[in-house]
Structure 1
Amino acid sequence: MSTGFKSRSDSAKAASRQRSVQREVDATDRAKPRGRSQAPMQAGARKYPVPPFPKQHHPKPGEEWALDPAPLYDAPFWQGSSKLAGKVAMITGGDSGIGRAVAVLFAREGADVAIVYLSEDRDARTTKAAVEAEGRRCITLRGDVTRRAFCRKAVEQTVKALGGLDVLVNNAAFQVHSADFVDLTEQHFDTTLKTNLYGYFHMAQEAVPHMKPGSAIINTGSVTGIEGSKDLIDYSMTKGGIHAFTRALSGNLIGKGIRVNAVAPGPVWTPLNPSEKEAGDVSRFGARTPMKRPAQPEEIAPAYVFLASPQCSSYITGEILPIIGGY
Structure 2
Amino acid sequence: MGIKSKIMHLVSFLLHGESKPIYAQVSYLSPGNRLAGKKIIITGGGRGLGFAMAKKFAAEGAEVLIAGRNEQTLKDSAAMIGCRYLKLDVSTPSEFEPFIEKSEKILGGANVLVNNAGISLHERTFFDVTPETFDKQIDTNLKGAFFLTQVFIAHLKNRNTKGNVLFVSSETGDTMDFRPYGFTKAAVNSMVQGLAYLFRKEGIRINAVAPGITASDMTGIKAGGNLNAGEYAAGRFYLPEEVAEIAAFLVSDSSGCVSGQIITCNNAQTINARWK
Alignment RMSD (CA, Å): 2.5
- Alpha-carbon distance between aligned partners in 1 of 2:264 and 2:154, rounded to the nearest angstrom: 29
The size of the alignment, in residue pairs, is: 250
Residue 95 of structure 1 corresponds to: 46
Say if 2:117 is the partner of 1:175: no
Gaps of 5+ in 2: 16-25, 270-276
| 2:134 counterpart residue number | 189
Question: 1:35 corresponds to which residue?
Answer: none
CA shift at 1:291, angstroms? 1.6
Contact 2:65 2:85 in 1 (8 A): yes
Q: 1-side partners of 2:11 and 2:236: how far apart?
A: 8
Q: 2:69 aligns with which of 114, 118, 135?
A: 118
Match of 1:172, SS?
Answer: coil
Percent of matched pairs sharing the same residue:
30
Query: Paired residue for 1:46?
Result: 8
**Aligned residue for 1:301?**
244
Give the one of 283, 289, 302 matched to 2:232.
289
- AA in 2 matched with 1:265: P
SS across alignment from 1:82: coil
CA shift, 1:84, in A, is 1.4
Matched, 1:106 2:57: yes
Shift in Å at residue 86 of structure 1? 1.8
**What SS does structure 2 have at the residue aligned with 1:256?**
coil
Contact between 1:52 and 1:283, CA under 8 Å: does it hold in 2? yes
Change (3 A) 1:323 1:77: closer
State the one-letter code of the partner of 2:43: T
Q: Distance in 2 between the 1:303 and 1:176 partners? A: 26
Structure 1 residues 106 and 215, CA gap change in structure 2 (3 angstroms): same
Q: Distance in 1 between matches of 2:260 and 2:27?
A: 31
Deviations 1:67-94 (A, max 9, x none): xxxxxxxx99642222111221000011
* 1:85-128 superposed Cα distances (whole Å, 9 cap, x missing partner): 12210000111111111111111111111111122x44323321
2-structure distance, mates of 1:214, 1:321? 22
C-alpha contact (below 8 Å) 1:103/1:127 kept by paired residues:
no
Structure scoring higher RCO (CA < 8 A, sep ≥ 6) equals: 1
Structure-2 change in CA distance of 1:162 and 1:322 (3 Å):
same
TM norm structure 2:
0.83
Deviations 1:277-304 (A, max 9, x none): xxxxx96774421222111111110111
More helix by share: 1
Q: Equivalent residue of 2:200, what SS?
A: helix
Unaligned runs of 5+ in 1: 1-42, 54-74, 133-137, 276-281
- What TM-score comes out, normalization by structure 1 length? 0.71
Partner of 2:21: none
Q: Does 1:206 align with 2:148?
A: no
- 1:191-270 aligned at under 5 Å gives the runs 191-211=136-156, 212-230=160-178, 233-270=179-216
2:32 partner letter: S
- What is the match of residue 77 of structure 2? 127
Return structure 1 stretches of 4+ with deviation > 6 angstroms: 282-285
Per-residue Cα deviation, 1:221-255 (whole angstroms, up to 9, x for no partner): 1000102345xx11000000000000001011123
Q: Does 1:85 align with 2:36?
A: yes
